[in-house]
Structure 1
């Protein structure tokens, strides 16, 4: 599929393997350095597809997609294309589930792409950002009906943990970008954000009226628990917060039980 800025994005459609799939589709947004064929992503697909058809895709700069990773900025265009594709296949309801970087992207996407029934300005209050990354509603059917954000940061430029300091080195240094390209199959854009995109915590406040589920592990080595708590506080009554005992970070740490509970939450919303 093609994002609104012309970037080609690889995507995979997995039909529902259960009895109830049809109206709802789940779109999975992987974490940084992930792709559609990574084992943790495929494990999530197997769990989710028992409840609904699943669309997975590789963010720009990842896997077989074109372009370069902007680490959560223009990736919102990739997600919008995947949501619109799911609707083009006949699914009237689409739920986005994002992990880590993908978790921040589903929040920004939920804020910037308003549902057709939302009042003018709802879900897209940051108009300068919306104009730059894709006008709200520019792609028909690109909005999400519910949002699940797993292991997402609340704020940009966080360097409070050793894994995040290593990630910032990989993104900002020429040697780090070489490691990303050849060690992690991830092509990283060399330019800094300009302007800085809407932060996840600001986006969380704009996702409503779509339901929002925030999931985070209490042993996440990247983002401590103040991140999910900030996101939930910003979203208010629209959000449900799950703090998972013993869980690490993102799709690699999401076990079968958690993935099944997320799929069940999706089915009930």
Structure 2
């Protein structure tokens, strides 16, 4: 269990690189690490998160964790706001374990969190638990703006988050505990965050059949961050559930090229 900066306990799992992996180490024998940020209603133990972790372990060590209000973590979900503290705690932990190169990969809500984290925790930024910056960012199926209700899937999600009955469904049906208070202040918009990430490498991945966020979202993020790579995946749905092994392998290969260990 890690402690976020506001004292919330965060469930986290560290796994070394797969023993059969061909990973480039630095002069001190250290390997890169990937920190995986799941989507809303996910957790470190969900099958799709474990599948992603297994692929990324072929390219280095992996840290998975459960955002607040999810899995065995404490607190309640703020649906992308205070979760940036959870990711910062996981990244700082990875660095305390000796890793020099940290790559963050986020899905859906986790995608918005990795964008804001990279914008707020830049190299040289002082952090209570030690350096919490990332060396490469991958946002998969991330929204470009808050309060989006343009699809039926997002209207259902807003019902879960904003209505008492919806939060009860989230707690007992989806195993996700949602905070009852509105954002105050509203966190940095994902598009604004993407614009602040350079020169840290950024990859945006989005499916053309995403039922939550249509293609104007990744295109808006890419327009705000001209240095980013944009992959629009034919036939792909939403987030970690839709990211198959070939795509995860391509993401890991991209991160290895853009942020090699060392």
TM range (shorter): over 0.9
The worse-fitting range, judged by mean Cα deviation, of 221-230 and 138-147 is: 138-147
Q: Work out the CA distance in 2 between the residues paired with 1:10 and 1:192.
A: 24
CA-atom RMSD, angstroms?
A: 1.0
1:8 paired to 2:9: yes
Q: Work out the CA distance in 1 between the residues paired with 2:76 and 2:9.
A: 11
Could you state the TM-score of these two structures normalised by the residue count of structure 2?
0.94
Q: Work out the CA distance in 2 between the residues paired with 1:179 and 1:33.
A: 11
Tell me the SS of whatever aligns to 1:49.
helix
Per-residue deviation, residues 196-243 of structure 1 (Å, max 9, x unmatched): 10010000000111000000000000000000000001011x200000
Matches within 5 A, 1:122-141: 137-141=127-131
> Equivalent of 2:234, from 245, 254, 263?
245
Pairwise CA distance, 1:265: 0.7
Matches within 5 A, 1:19-98: 19-20=22-23, 22-98=30-106
1:230 paired to 2:212: no
2:140 corresponds in structure 1 to 150
Do 1:9 and 1:78's aligned partners in 2 also have CA atoms closer than 8 Å?
Answer: yes
Per-residue deviation, residues 20-73 of structure 1 (Å, max 9, x unmatched): 164310000000000011010000001110011000000000000000000000
Pairwise CA distance, 1:90: 0.6
1:132 corresponds in structure 2 to none
2:198 corresponds in structure 1 to 208
Pairwise CA distance, 1:114: 1.0
Task: Name stretches of at least 5 consecutive residues in structure 2 with no aligned partner.
Answer: 25-29
Task: Name stretches of at least 5 consecutive residues in structure 1 with no aligned partner.
Answer: 117-134
Do 1:114 and 1:137's aligned partners in 2 also have CA atoms closer than 8 Å?
Answer: no
Pairwise CA distance, 1:15: 1.0
Do 2:212 and 2:238's aligned partners in 1 also have CA atoms closer than 8 Å?
Answer: yes
Tell me the SS of whatever aligns to 2:63.
strand
Q: Work out the CA distance in 1 between the residues paired with 2:101 and 2:59.
A: 13
Pairwise CA distance, 1:96: 0.3
Could you state the TM-score of these two structures normalised by the residue count of structure 1?
0.91
2:251 corresponds in structure 1 to 262
Pairwise CA distance, 1:140: 1.8
Tell me the SS of whatever aligns to 2:10.
coil
Per-residue deviation, residues 165-194 of structure 1 (Å, max 9, x unmatched): 000000000000000000011000000001
